[in-house]
Structure 1
């Protein structure tokens, strides 16, 4: 169900007030019970997926009872079914819709620009989502764009409002997920909206160019070439299947509708490795092969690392999953976009989920990069706004492995600090590598509440 921001805010305030007197707001602890070493787990994004359980090896039971948020729109079953035609083994859908929309928006922008020149494509991207003829499928939108009609695309993830001037969603939807029996219990999933529709851009894009005839427009630079910069390997590889399926389905739909500028859109695979060096090498390869728009990277920190290279090459970087709020104001020369909402919005939703359980002390553990520490700070600020002082919130971080051959995360000392702190809630912000944090808690004797 959808819960309004006002309702969630009221819950947060009520919970904050009750913290001083009771363990209510969803807690089933009897009054006066001690929970000094009994911890409820919370997660987000990269660890709130069915595939995350495998990272815990034979201790998958540790996540039972864990809850958290991810950016997720209620997905139509028909969309999930179509994704499974691309990947029959698909178990998760995180960022599949955002990836689908990123590919479709890029294609529509090129069609409206009448060119594959990346800078001209970039000038159209925000306008694709605002102040035009409403359309919600690639075939209809492409038909309008070929006729030179300004459009307002509403897709699977982008269904409430368009992009802001900064090139990111003005509104977002978050899902609250629960692990039970070592898998996400879909029956417990709730959705909450965030953001403000008035934040969508009102600027008019350059006038659309009408396509003449159905032949390949070589003068316009056709075909449009998209390049993937996605986590085929690395700490975020567990998120690759739904992202890859979303890209493949969008490409299929665009090309089934006649492609862009009279030619099928070309896709060139590429790995970001959840690693700056691997991602930079992929970007260099894409530039050499004439890629116009790079779809990715998956992790915010990787996008930050490659963005200077992308900008220097005059290409577009369009991520379906970057959430670092700092990327809103990054110096991108107008060439960076994302369909995922910034963590300034998710921080509120995640803090609300935690507050509903009435915790007394909260530890927030984050991977040490722009995504992890950025979201950590957003959640901390929201908890403070709800009345939790610094003495009730403990911040810790860990350095993710530098490469696949590096030793795994050692969080033994951090786990002991959390136990000594007496936290009854631990939020873990990370990707697949964050499983080591949960294992370390168990090894330190912290009782994980299920």
Structure 2
């Protein structure tokens, strides 16, 4: 059965379409906006020569599938140019960065040949979290709120298990409290979970956003993804066809983990929350902040002999402000931080502040591959899935759902676009025996994308 998701629930953050990167890699404002304009020397030449432009724009010998990775602001013109050049015979696959329900209306086409993927809140305790959030705030949880709750909850549990406000000790407890082989607890039993780890017991936190099993990179070892389609030119929602759980390459998790939990009661647990209350992501960041504050409230309102001091700093959706906020938390002795939201803020915060000071960071919404690849000595975690996983999900959907055996990719010319295009292409070819004819970059803000569209449609000829 189909179900609809309103604009506020679209993982691609339709409301951020004016910022290039805001929706593209979960919340990759800094990554997308900065990279899109500045890496363009090769792109102009690629599009300009048209690659067989005289050979037939009907695309009859072209790929089965086009994968388009970008943001709504340039996606409008790109899809207008596509439908002007094609009858829509090709399937098109897009990630969450283009999950804007208003896109068909702006393009002037129902976009019936487009299928999308997007991270979803699909953890085993999603309903329990939703009820908790609704009861506390009298509103429906929004984008990345379940990931925010899970991030703060995991950090608090690891701190209690460690028995001290020490980043290295918390780091070593995160997989012990989150990964399998312990008693299962979720948001509805969070206080019981805290009491269990305080008593030195082995638990398995099962979250709202996912099972919250951390792999060797500190990323979720599995995650839920929506498979969705546009609902038409006048819709304010998209049609979610189904939600599936996908496993990464190491679904059981891996990486350093403590053998035991010292635990203990009679102390104050310190945790930081570093998310955007202001700036471009304010409308999305504010519910995320509320969700991240919930686990601390649950402990502080209980009769446990523990208190949680949750200290908040606003990133203002700015790398500089994010670093300043992180420094304030570190100077206050905070050993672990729920944040940040966007990869453009998260990467400098991790590199300049968290990692050098041996402070654990756990982002609820930064998905870029560059976070996975940080030299972090295992201090950086995420409850949002990496685009390493989304690239695999897209390749699987392309092959198994859409039946494609050949593809071409069009990707926004920045780290996010290039990395996700490369990941999709490698998995599509190596795992699903497909063939990617070409990977073609495009720039944000061009007045026409006809050349790159033609190049994609005629690739493989």
Which TM-score applies when normalising by structure 1? 0.70
Checking the alignment, whether the CA contact within 8 Å between 2:167 and 2:359 is kept in structure 1 is: yes
- Supply the distance in 2 between the matched residues of 1:276 and 1:42 (Cα, whole angstroms): 31
Aligned pairs (5 A) from 1:286-365:
286-308=329-351, 309-355=353-399, 356-357=401-402, 362-365=408-411
Q: Structure 1 residues 35 and 47 mapped into 2: Cα distance closer, same or farther (>3 Å)?
A: closer
- Supply the distance in 1 between the matched residues of 2:456 and 2:407 (Cα, whole angstroms): 7
- Supply the distance in 1 between the matched residues of 2:439 and 2:378 (Cα, whole angstroms): 37
1:153 deviates by 1.3
- Determine if the alignment matches structure 1 residue 377 to structure 2 residue 455: no
Checking the alignment, whether the CA contact within 8 Å between 1:41 and 1:63 is kept in structure 2 is: no
Aligned pairs (5 A) from 1:383-398:
383-385=428-430, 386=432, 389-391=435-437, 393-398=438-443
Q: Structure 1 residues 203 and 363 mapped into 2: Cα distance closer, same or farther (>3 Å)?
A: closer
Match of 1:233 in 2: 279
Q: Which runs of 5+ in 1 are unaligned?
A: 2-18, 25-33, 399-408, 426-450
Match of 1:141 in 2: 193
What is the number of equivalent residue pairs in this alignment? 370
Q: Structure 1 residues 381 and 135 mapped into 2: Cα distance closer, same or farther (>3 Å)?
A: same
Q: Secondary structure at the match of 1:74?
A: coil
Match of 1:120 in 2: 169
Render the CA deviation track for 1:281-310: whole Å, top value 9, x for unaligned. Answer: 222232234333221222234322221222
Q: Structure 1 residues 315 and 204 mapped into 2: Cα distance closer, same or farther (>3 Å)?
A: closer
Checking the alignment, whether the CA contact within 8 Å between 1:126 and 1:165 is kept in structure 2 is: no
Checking the alignment, whether the CA contact within 8 Å between 1:362 and 1:424 is kept in structure 2 is: no
1:125 deviates by 1.1
Checking the alignment, whether the CA contact within 8 Å between 1:365 and 1:376 is kept in structure 2 is: yes
1:337 deviates by 1.0
Question: 2:294 aligned to 249, 257, 262, which one?
Answer: 249
Checking the alignment, whether the CA contact within 8 Å between 1:192 and 1:349 is kept in structure 2 is: no
- Determine if the alignment matches structure 1 residue 106 to structure 2 residue 140: no
Match of 2:452 in 1: 418
Match of 2:246 in 1: 193
- Supply the distance in 1 between the matched residues of 2:220 and 2:226 (Cα, whole angstroms): 16
Checking the alignment, whether the CA contact within 8 Å between 2:410 and 2:440 is kept in structure 1 is: yes
1:173 deviates by 2.2
Question: 2:270 aligned to 224, 229, 249, which one?
Answer: 224
Q: Secondary structure at the match of 1:224?
A: strand
- Determine if the alignment matches structure 1 residue 279 to structure 2 residue 327: no
Q: Which runs of 5+ in 2 are unaligned?
A: 2-59, 66-82
- Supply the distance in 2 between the matched residues of 1:195 and 1:314 (Cα, whole angstroms): 27
Q: Secondary structure at the match of 2:375?
A: coil
Q: Structure 1 residues 293 and 424 mapped into 2: Cα distance closer, same or farther (>3 Å)?
A: farther
1:341 deviates by 2.4
Match of 1:435 in 2: none
Aligned pairs (5 A) from 1:418-437:
418-421=452-455, 423=457
Aligned pairs (5 A) from 1:26-175:
36-39=85-88, 42-48=93-99, 52-53=100-101, 59=106, 65=112, 66-74=114-122, 76-85=126-135, 88=138, 90=140, 93-130=142-179, 131-136=181-186, 137-159=189-211, 162-175=213-226
1:325 deviates by 3.3
Which stretch shows the higher mean deviation, 77-86 or 337-346? 77-86
- Supply the distance in 2 between the matched residues of 1:232 and 1:367 (Cα, whole angstroms): 27
Q: Structure 1 residues 207 and 228 mapped into 2: Cα distance closer, same or farther (>3 Å)?
A: same
1:85 deviates by 4.4
Checking the alignment, whether the CA contact within 8 Å between 1:171 and 1:195 is kept in structure 2 is: yes
Render the CA deviation track for 1:161-191: whole Å, top value 9, x for unaligned. Answer: 7222332222222221223143334552332
Q: Secondary structure at the match of 1:330?
A: coil
RMSD: 3.7
Q: Structure 1 residues 411 and 242 mapped into 2: Cα distance closer, same or farther (>3 Å)?
A: farther
1:357 deviates by 4.1
Q: Secondary structure at the match of 2:204?
A: strand
Checking the alignment, whether the CA contact within 8 Å between 2:156 and 2:271 is kept in structure 1 is: no
- Supply the distance in 2 between the matched residues of 1:93 and 1:38 (Cα, whole angstroms): 36
Q: Structure 1 residues 312 and 301 mapped into 2: Cα distance closer, same or farther (>3 Å)?
A: same
1:241 deviates by 5.0
